[in-house]
Structure 1
Amino acid sequence: MKLYSTHNKDLSVSFQEAVFNSLPADKGLYMPEEIPRLEPFFIAHIAQYSLQEIALKVAQAFIGNDIPAADLKALVEDAINFEAPVKFLSKDTAVLELFHGPSYAFKDFGARFMSRVMGYFSKEETDLLEVLVATSGDTGGAVALGFLGVEGTRVTILYPKGKVSKVQEQQLTTHGQNIRAIEVDGTFDDCQALVKQAFNDEELSKKLRLTSANSINIARLIPQTFYYFWAYAQLKSQGISELVFTVPSGNFGNIGAGLLAYKMGLPVNKFVAATNLNDTVPRYLVSGSYEPKPSVQTLANAMDVGNPSNWVRIQDLFDQDLSEIQGMVSAYSYDDEQTREAIDRLYKDFNYIACPHTAIAWLASQAYKKEHAGRYASVFLSTAHPCKFPDAFPAEVFAEITLPEGAQDYATQEKQATAMAVDFEAFKSFLLA
């Protein structure tokens, strides 16, 4: 597998190099030189395969011989060892639940796969691998659990002070061992900027073996395609082949992976991007002018991203053609009041308790359906377990949430985090120390 930078298509690096470098020196993002197309026969008979079998097929299409087939099979089966069921709320509306992994969020797909890939390629290395990650909520917990105890690695997680839920903070600050957390007095965008600065700092590049665990890393993006194919397989087993995916969108890696799956041959009618007040992309799709703005704190904190990194990948997939993107992607944005109303409606109408991000996705799916009637299944993604957002629910509703195994253990563990201002020199000194 060869990859290029979105800023320079003449650049060519191996999959292993892209995994560890994460970010090209020209500040672009890595993309495959060729997007593999899965065989029509496989797509036509996809309902016969398990999630793990589908994941292996998709991973092999990208990675090829960079990881031998037997090793890749073992890696996939170890990383993707949980389910992602599609559940119908009505005859034409379904939810794809992606929170059944160890951190109760969809990020487990990417973080666990990436940590195994890095561990595989690092077997012969002697230098410590320094993994940097910025999180707006769920990424940190998934990466922490994905890398916890992995030999030869040390993870540093940056998160915005006061802008993640208590459960999310506990998941990324209570592990110790090879996991470190920095509580940044700023926004997610500030955290992300610090990570990007670190990769472009010459001294850090010389002294440390740096890599990223954010969705800017191609090894995070590839496994997120798995569940789109798996959702299609579940629907096809029920005789449904027309579908629209609605995706809660913050840094746009999740919907980017869906569009990558579409380019690989996954039959999808449309993708709908659902955002909160951080609506850079919805505004762009209407105006044609891409104008990032500082992120705003909302109830759906994992989507509080003012300048989505992965949007350049989506533009690259469509050769910078805005009309083509508009033909495949619609977008809607909602405020906190609308989010709370959606949570309430989902509970009262369907007895379904959804996290704020999931509720926003449901709102957007219903808005799109109202504007575009058709005989398709509307599948919205549930990206996190509702237990991670206790402040989003009335006490009587939250009391009805069944906590995942191990969720209560975090409350008894001590927070371990370093407080830091938005100061690159302080961050650099921390890393070098």
Structure 2
Amino acid sequence: MKYISIGQKRQRVTLSEGVFKGLSDEGTLFMPEAIPVLDKTFYSRFHDMSLPEIALNVLLPYVENELGRENLKKIVEETFSFPIPLVKIHDNINVLELFHGPTQAFKDVGARFLSRLMSKLYPNQGKKMIILTATSGDTGGAVAHGFHRVPGIEVVVLYPQGKISPYQENQMTSLGHNIHAIAVEGVFDDCQRLVKQAFNDPSLRKDVSITSANSINLGRLLPQMVYYFFGVAAIQRKFPNLKPVICVPSGNFGNITAAVMASRMGLPVNRFIAATNVNDVVPRFLRTGRYEPHKTIETYANAMDVGDPSNFPRLFYLFKNELEELRKMFSAKVITNEEIIKTIQMVFQQHHYLLDPHSSTGYLGLKQSLQKDENGFFISTAHPIKFVEIIEKVLPQEADRLKKSFSYGVGSSTQLEKMPVSYKALKNKLISL
């Protein structure tokens, strides 16, 4: 398996090169050169497989040449070591819960896989590796925990100051050692631009080895396919041969890109729905055919506050960059702050299920889109404890229960580090590590 960039130059690389470069030489994303279709024998028995067994079968074609089956087996067993249950909420609406990992967010899957993949593939060249990533909330905590105390690796996480939840911030700033969490005086898109500048700076990369743990990295993207196979297997155990509708809360659009990749491997899916907050670049593109990034708008679903989704070019590439091809199997729903809050309250009161703000968009996006003869599931991307301040607005008693049930955070924060939106400041920080 080789990987190609989706820009004009179509740079061709190995898995190791793609993982450690992060972006191509022209600053574009990598994708598999071909997406393999799994054979019928796999689909006849994947309903009875464990999560690590499914992961081994799904990921082996992408990594076998460089990693080998036994190394991959160990990595997936360590990555998928927590449950990912499919839970029925009511009628034809189910939820795939991805928040049972160490930082209570779906990004634990990608971060745990990537850290272990890098430890196997890193060509030790006598200089320290820096993992540089931007986060709108959950990525930072997952990456920090995934790489904490990994020898020879420093982690720098940029996050928008004052625009993530206290719980999210505490998960990043309480670890210390090789984890450097920096509050940037801007929005997520500013953090993301700084990361891209670093990757496209040849003078910096002469001095330090840097790569990304954002969803732009292949090592984050590939393992995200796995839980869609597990979700479809779970729903087909109840409804044999059903092709479900899948709704994914979407900000940077990496998670739903992985879902579409899974379908290209033969996973039976009826269609996909991206649920966004009012940062609606992609829904507007589907309506108008014009892709127009805008300034980020702050919402209750802050991990989805993205005005220019980095992974959308990957998604569009899967549909041959043809809008009509995209529209055939893909739609999008925009969910407002008011709808997020009302949905959290309604689903808890009527169905006794507590949603976080992001999962609220997934529930409502699916509910508004499902036809009577369809069945489906949405992705629950984070545990409500991570957004207890939002839960408090409509369900104060549940918020109190959450605070008592969880240690609110993961420890005492280290001294908070702040930085202006300045590439010079970032570059100096990276060189000094």
Query: What band does the TM-score fall into relative to the shorter chain?
Result: over 0.9
Range 334-343 or range 187-196, more displaced: 334-343
CA distance in 2, matches of 1:56, 1:91: 33
- Contact preservation (8 Å) 2:224, 2:255: yes
Distance 1:149 1:11, change over 3 A: same
Aligned AA (1:346): V
- Contact preservation (8 Å) 1:173, 1:181: yes
1:18 aligns with 2:8: no
- Please report how far the alpha carbon of residue 90 of structure 1 lies from its aligned counterpart in structure 2 after TM superposition: 1.5
Helix, strand or coil for the counterpart of 1:182? strand
For residue 222 of structure 1, what is the aligned residue in structure 2? 222
- Please report how far the alpha carbon of residue 75 of structure 1 lies from its aligned counterpart in structure 2 after TM superposition: 1.1
- Please report how far the alpha carbon of residue 404 of structure 1 lies from its aligned counterpart in structure 2 after TM superposition: 7.1
Report Cα offsets for 1:216-263 as digits up to 9, x if no partner. Answer: 001100000010000011111113422001100000001010011011
CA distance in 1, matches of 2:26, 2:358: 33
1:387 aligns with 2:366: no
- Please report how far the alpha carbon of residue 92 of structure 1 lies from its aligned counterpart in structure 2 after TM superposition: 1.1
Distance 1:267 1:402, change over 3 A: farther
Aligned AA (1:396): Q
CA distance in 2, matches of 1:112, 1:131: 13
- Please report how far the alpha carbon of residue 432 of structure 1 lies from its aligned counterpart in structure 2 after TM superposition: 1.2
- Contact preservation (8 Å) 1:242, 1:375: no
For residue 259 of structure 1, what is the aligned residue in structure 2? 260
1:101 aligns with 2:101: yes
CA distance in 2, matches of 1:314, 1:44: 28
Range 417-426 or range 191-200, more displaced: 417-426
For residue 118 of structure 1, what is the aligned residue in structure 2? 118
For residue 378 of structure 1, what is the aligned residue in structure 2? 376
Distance 1:62 1:428, change over 3 A: same
For residue 416 of structure 2, what is the aligned residue in structure 1? 417
CA distance in 1, matches of 2:19, 2:347: 39
CA distance in 2, matches of 1:229, 1:253: 16
Helix, strand or coil for the counterpart of 2:231? helix
- Structure 1: which 4+ aligned runs deviate by more than 4 Å? 402-405
**Unaligned residue ranges in structure 1 (runs of 5+):** none
CA distance in 2, matches of 1:56, 1:92: 30
CA distance in 1, matches of 2:133, 2:40: 37
For residue 343 of structure 2, what is the aligned residue in structure 1? 342
For residue 312 of structure 1, what is the aligned residue in structure 2? 313
Report Cα offsets for 1:91-128 as digits up to 9, x if no partner. Answer: 31101000000010000010000000001112644321
CA distance in 2, matches of 1:271, 1:319: 17
Report matched runs for 1:206-245 at 5 Å: 206-240=206-240, 241-245=242-246
- Contact preservation (8 Å) 2:167, 2:409: no
1:81 aligns with 2:81: yes
For residue 430 of structure 2, what is the aligned residue in structure 1? 431
- Contact preservation (8 Å) 2:134, 2:158: yes
1:182 aligns with 2:182: yes
CA distance in 2, matches of 1:118, 1:22: 12
- Contact preservation (8 Å) 1:353, 1:401: no
CA distance in 2, matches of 1:61, 1:356: 36
- Contact preservation (8 Å) 2:167, 2:408: no
Helix, strand or coil for the counterpart of 1:95? strand
Helix, strand or coil for the counterpart of 2:11? strand
- Please report how far the alpha carbon of residue 402 of structure 1 lies from its aligned counterpart in structure 2 after TM superposition: 7.8
1:40 aligns with 2:47: no
- Please report how far the alpha carbon of residue 80 of structure 1 lies from its aligned counterpart in structure 2 after TM superposition: 1.5
Root-mean-square deviation (CA, aligned residues, Å) is 1.4
**Unaligned residue ranges in structure 2 (runs of 5+):** none
Identity in percent: 43
- Contact preservation (8 Å) 2:109, 2:223: yes
Distance 1:186 1:281, change over 3 A: same
CA distance in 1, matches of 2:364, 2:170: 29
- Contact preservation (8 Å) 1:126, 1:152: no
- Contact preservation (8 Å) 1:38, 1:61: no
For residue 297 of structure 2, what is the aligned residue in structure 1? 296
- Contact preservation (8 Å) 1:190, 1:422: yes
CA distance in 2, matches of 1:129, 1:403: 39
- Contact preservation (8 Å) 1:2, 1:14: yes
- Please report how far the alpha carbon of residue 10 of structure 1 lies from its aligned counterpart in structure 2 after TM superposition: 3.8
CA distance in 1, matches of 2:148, 2:345: 36
CA distance in 1, matches of 2:348, 2:223: 31
For residue 324 of structure 2, what is the aligned residue in structure 1? 323
CA distance in 2, matches of 1:384, 1:127: 36
CA distance in 1, matches of 2:362, 2:326: 19
Aligned AA (2:216): I
- Please report how far the alpha carbon of residue 169 of structure 1 lies from its aligned counterpart in structure 2 after TM superposition: 0.2
| TM-score, length-scaled by structure 1 | 0.96
CA distance in 1, matches of 2:192, 2:381: 21
- Please report how far the alpha carbon of residue 397 of structure 1 lies from its aligned counterpart in structure 2 after TM superposition: 2.0
Report Cα offsets for 1:295-354 as digits up to 9, x if no partner. Answer: 111100000000000000011111101111111111011111111001001111111111
